C-alpha cells in the first residue's frame, strides 16, 4: 500500500487497537498529527505538559491492562517525558512513547529542537526504535507493543524523524515480527514448582508476599485460592496493594518502611516467604541482610534478573505470576487437603488485634481517619491515584483497596506530581468509575496544570489534597533526623486550592473538620466536574509506623 510514514503509523496503531493517545504536538511530529486529523477512531487527549501526558498514558495502562500511548514532539517535548518514562520503567508499566525527531539528514547537527532522546532514555526503557524509512514503521510499532506488554512490561520509545513521517513508501503491515533475542518464560519449571510446594506445605508459618507482578499478571484469583485453601496469610508490597482484598481475614496489608505494623511483624515471624511478582525493593524489605533472616524464600518472578538480586532465593521459580501461582496451587492440592484454621492463622489474627492500638487515629483531621472515611464514602471499584510522600503513605496505610488495578501510585521512582495526571489517565481508561487522587499540596502543585486537561477534555476526577503547607515527608525527616532545621520545606506561598479549582471551572472545597470532609466528598462523588478538596491538616502529622532507612523491619517506630 502506498502511503506516508505518518499514515502508516496511525494505521499501525489502529491495528494495535489504540483508541486513545495522550500528547502535545509540535514541529517535528506535525505530519503524524495531520494524519490524525482525518481519523475518527483515535481520541487525542491534549495534556498541558508532556510529563502529564506520560503519567496519563502510564496510569491508563495500569488501570486498563492495555498499552498506554503518549505522543510528543522532538527536543523539549521528548525530554519532558523522561520522568514519566522512568516512572513506567520502575513500576513495569506498558507504555509506548512516540517522539518526533528532526529529519535524518539533520540528526547530529544540534538542529533546532533536536535532542538525542534515544540516547537519553536507553537506560530507562525496555527498548527503543528509530525507524529510518517509512516502510519500517508497521514492524516497529508491532514490536514496540509486543515488547511493552509482554514478559515484565515496561516502556518502549519510538523516535520518528520528520522525513520518515512524510516519506511515501510501499507499506505492508506484518501480523508478526521476529525478535530473535526476546524470550518470555511464561511457564514455570515443574521441578521447581514441586520443590516450592514441598517447602510451602512443610512450613509452619508460611506467608505470601505479593508484589505488583500479581496485579500485572491478573493473578489475584489464583493468589486468593492458594491463600484460602492452605491458610497462608498475605502481605503485599506498595505495588501489590489490591492484589488481595485488604478486608480479607488473611490479608495483613502492606509491608515496608511505612508498612502496616502487623504486616512487618508477621514477615519477621514467618519461616517461609513465598514472594510473587516482587523485586524486593529496599523500601519493602528494610535492611536486606536482616530481612526475614530465618525464613526460606521461594521467589516467583518473570524476570530472572530479579532472582537473588537483593534477597537470596532458596527456590527460584521463573515465570508469569498467574502461571506460577496456579501451578503451585494445583501441585499443592494434589498433595494436601484444604486446611482449617492453623495456629499461624490465629497468630496473624492476634497481630492484627495488637496492631489496632498502634495507629494514630484520635483527634482532629487525622489523615488515617480521613482515609477511612473516604473509603466508606466511595464505591468499591473506585480508582485511587496518589502523589508521593506522606499523602501516598497515608493512602497506602489507611485506604483499604479491594480490587486489583484500583490503586495507582509511583512506587519505584517516587515521582511527586504523578497523582493528578495519573487520575486523569485513569478516568480515560475507566470513564464510568470514580477516580480519586489522594495528594499532597507539594505533589499536586508540581503538575497542577493538568487540572486544565481534566476540565477541557471532560475527564472529571476528585482530588483530596492533604494540605499541610509543607513538603511534609521531607519535613518529617527534618524533624526526626535533622534537629527540626526546616530548610526549604515551607510551602506557605501556595495559592488557596479551592479558589485555584474555581478559576479552572472546577469545584473547590476547603475542609477544616471531619464534617466538612464528609460533605465535600459527598459532593465530589456526585459531581460531574472535577472536584478539589483542600484538607487543612496539621504540619505536625507524621507517617507512622516508620522503619528508619537502613534498619530492619523489626525496628519499627510507632510514634514520635
Partner 1 sequence: MSRSDGMHVIVTLVEDRPGVLFRVTSLIRRRNFNIATITVGSTEYEGISRMTFTIYGEERELSQVVYQLDKLVEVVSIVVFKPEDMIVRELALIKVSMPNNGLQSEVIEKVNRYRGHIVDMTPRTVTVELVDTPDRINKFIEEVGKINIVEIARTGITAVVRGAEPTVKGVGING
Residues found near partner 1 in the complex (CB under 8 A): 118-119, 122-123, 126-128, 130, 147, 179-182, 303-305, 307-309
Exposed/middle/buried for 294, CB within 10 Å: 0-12, 13-18, 19+?
exposed
Nearest distance from C-beta of residue 4 to partner 1, angstroms:
23
- Classified as helix, coil or strand, 552 is strand
Contact in structure between 267 and 553 (CB atoms under 8 Å): yes
Three-state SS for 311-375 is: CCCCEEEECCHHHHHHHHHHHHHHHCCCCCCCHHHHHHHHHHHHHCCCCCCCCCCCHHHHHHHHH
CB of 159 to partner 1, least distance (A): 11
Minimum Å distance from CB 211 to partner 1? 18
In whole angstroms, the minimum distance from the beta carbon of 116 to partner 1 comes to 10
Of the candidates 92, 130, 61, 20, the residue with the CA atom closest to the CA atom of residue 321: 92
Please confirm, yes or no, whether 398 is among the known catalytic residues: no
- Residues making up the chain, counted from first to last: 560
257 in active site: no
For partner 1, which is the closer residue by CB, 1 or 305?
305
Question: What is the distance between the alpha carbons of residues 239 and 408, in angstroms, rounded to a whole number?
Answer: 8
> 309 vs 536, which CB is nearer to partner 1?
309
Q: Which is nearer to partner 1, 321 or 464 (CB)?
A: 321
Q: Is 354 a catalytic residue?
A: no
In three-state secondary structure terms, 16 is coil
Of 136 and 457, which has the nearer Cβ to partner 1? 136
Beta carbon nearer to partner 1, 147 or 300:
147
Residue 416 has a CB neighbour count (10 Å cut-off) of 23
Closest CA to 453 of 530, 384, 534, 531: 530
Contact between residue 202 and residue 208 where contact means Cβ atoms under 8 Å apart: no
CB of 120 to partner 1, least distance (A): 11
Q: Which is nearer to partner 1, 313 or 465 (CB)?
A: 313
Nearest CB to partner 1, comparing residues 304 and 549? 304
Q: How far is the CB of 162 from partner 1 (least distance, A)?
A: 18
Catalytic residue among 7, 11, 16, 50: 50
Give the shortest CB-431-to-partner 1 separation in angstroms.
34
- Looking at the Cβ atoms of 118 and 216, the one nearer to partner 1 is 118
Neighbour-count burial for 107-122, b at 16+ CB within 10 Å, e otherwise: beeebebbbebbebbe
Minimum distance of partner 1 from residue 88's CB (angstroms): 16
For the beta carbon of residue 449, count every other beta carbon within 10 angstroms: 16
Radius of gyration of the chain (CA): 24
3-state secondary structure 187-221: CCCHHHHHHHHHHHHHCCCEEEEECHHHHHCCCHH
113, 225, 455, 518: the catalytic one is: 113
CA–CA gap between residue 189 and residue 199 (Å, rounded): 16
Residues 61 and 94: their CA atoms lie apart, in Å, by: 6
Distance CA 242, CA 220 (A): 8
Task: Give the three-state DSSP class for 74.
Answer: coil
Is the previous residue joined to 545 through a cis bond, with omega within 30 degrees of 0? yes
Select which of 112, 346, 380, 481 is catalytic. 112
Q: Does 113 qualify as catalytic in the annotation?
A: yes
Q: What is the per-residue DSSP string for 247-301?
A: TSTTEEEE-STT--HHHHHHHHH-SEEEEES----HHHHBSGGGTTTTSEEEEEE
Task: Answer for the pair 126, 120: CB distance below 8 angstroms, yes or no.
Answer: no
CB of 309 to partner 1, least distance (A): 6
Q: Is 376 helix (H, G, I), strand (E, B) or coil?
A: helix
Active site residue 473: yes
Point out the catalytic residue in the list 445, 473, 478, 507.
473
- CB closer to partner 1 out of 118 and 250: 118
Q: What residues act catalytically?
A: 50, 112-113, 162, 473
Amino acid at each position: 500500500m502506498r502511503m506516508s510514514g505518518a499514515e502508516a503509523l496511525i494505521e499501525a496503531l489502529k491495528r494495535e487497537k489504540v483508541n486513545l493517545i495522550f500528547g502535545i504536538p509540535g514541529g517535528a511530529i506535525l505530519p503524524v498529527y495531520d494524519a490524525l486529523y482525518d481519523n475518527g477512531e483515535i481520541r487525542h487527549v491534549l495534556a498541558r505538559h508532556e510529563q502529564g501526558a506520560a503519567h496519563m498514558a502510564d496510569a491508563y495502562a495500569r488501570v486498563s491492562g492495555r498499552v498506554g500511548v503518549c505522543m510528543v514532539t522532538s527536543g523539549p517535548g521528548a525530554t519532558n517525558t523522561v520522568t514519566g518514562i522512568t516512572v513506567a520503567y520502575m513500576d513495569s508499566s506498558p507504555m509506548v512513547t512516540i517522539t518526533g525527531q528532526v529529519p535524518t539528514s539533520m540528526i547530529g547537527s544540534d538542529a533546532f529542537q533536536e535532542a538525542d532522546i534515544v540516547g537519553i532514555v536507553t537506560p530507562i526503557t525496555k527498548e527503543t526504535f528509530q525507524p529510518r524509512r517509512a516502510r519500517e514503521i508497521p514492524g516497529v510499532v508491532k514490536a514496540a507493543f509486543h515488547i511493552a506488554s509482554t514478559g515484565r512490561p515496561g516502556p518502549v520509545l519510538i523516535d520518528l524523524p520528520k522525513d520518515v513521517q512524510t516519506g511515501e513508501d510501499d507499506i505492508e503491515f506484518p501480523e508478526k515480527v521476529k525478535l530473535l533475542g526476546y524470550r518470555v518464560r511464561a511457564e514455570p519449571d515443574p521441578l521447581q514448582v514441586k520443590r516450592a510446594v514441598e517447602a510451602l506445605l512443610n512450613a509452619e508459618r508460611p506467608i505470601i508476599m505479593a508484589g505488583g507482578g500479581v496485579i500485572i499478571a491478573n493473578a489475584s484469583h489464583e493468589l486468593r485460592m492458594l491463600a484460602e485453601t492452605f491458610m497462608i496469610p498475605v502481605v503485599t508490597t506498595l505495588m501489590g496493594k489490591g492484589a488481595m482484598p485488604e478486608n480479607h481475614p488473611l490479608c495483613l496489608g502492606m509491608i515496608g518502611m511505612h508498612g502496616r505494623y502487623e504486616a512487618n511483624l508477621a514477615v519477621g515471624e514467618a519461616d517461609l516467604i513465598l514472594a510473587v511478582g516482587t523485586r524486593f525493593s529496599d523500601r519493602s524489605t528494610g535492611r536486606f541482610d536482616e530481612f526475614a533472616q530465618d525464613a526460606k524464600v521461594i521467589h516467583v518472578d518473570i524476570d530472572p534478573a530479579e532472582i537473588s538480586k537483593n534477597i537470596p532465593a532458596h527456590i527460584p521459580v521463573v515465570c508469569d505470576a498467574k502461571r506460577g501461582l496456579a501451578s503451585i496451587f494445583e501441585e499443592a492440592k494434589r498433595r494436601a487437603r484444604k486446611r482449617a484454621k492453623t495456629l499461624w492463622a490465629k497468630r496473624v489474627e492476634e497481630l492484627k488485634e495488637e496492631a489496632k492500638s498502634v495507629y494514630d487515629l484520635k483527634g482532629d483531621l487525622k489523615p488515617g481517619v480521613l482515609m477511612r472515611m473516604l473509603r466508606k464514602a466511595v464505591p468499591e471499584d473506585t480508582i485511587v491515584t496518589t502523589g508521593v510522600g506522606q499523602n501516598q503513605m497515608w493512602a497506602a496505610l489507611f485506604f483499604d483497596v479491594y480490587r486489583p488495578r484500583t490503586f495507582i501510585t509511583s512506587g519505584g521512582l517516587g515521582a511527586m506530581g504523578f497523582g493528578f495526571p495519573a487520575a486523569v489517565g485513569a478516568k480515560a481508561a475507566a470513564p464510568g468509575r470514580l477516580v480519586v487522587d489522594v495528594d499532597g499540596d507539594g505533589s499536586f502543585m508540581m503538575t497542577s496544570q493538568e487540572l486544565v486537561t481534566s476540565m477541557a477534555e471532560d475527564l472529571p476526577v476528585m482530588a483530596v489534597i492533604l494540605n499541610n503547607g509543607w513538603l511534609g515527608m521531607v519535613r518529617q525527616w527534618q524533624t526526626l533526623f535533622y534537629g527540626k532545621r526546616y530548610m526549604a520545606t515551607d510551602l506557605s506561598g501556595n495559592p488557596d486550592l479551592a479558589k485555584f479549582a474555581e478559576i479552572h471551572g472546577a469545584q473547590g472545597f476547603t475542609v477544616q473538620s471531619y464534617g466538612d470532609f464528609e460533605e465535600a466528598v459527598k459532593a465530589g462523588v456526585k459531581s460531574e466536574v472535577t472536584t478539589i478538596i483542600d484538607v487543612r491538616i496539621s504540619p505536625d502529622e507524621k507517617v507512622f509506623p516508620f522503619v528508619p532507612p537502613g534498619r530492619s523491619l523489626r525496628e519499627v517506630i510507632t510514634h514520635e
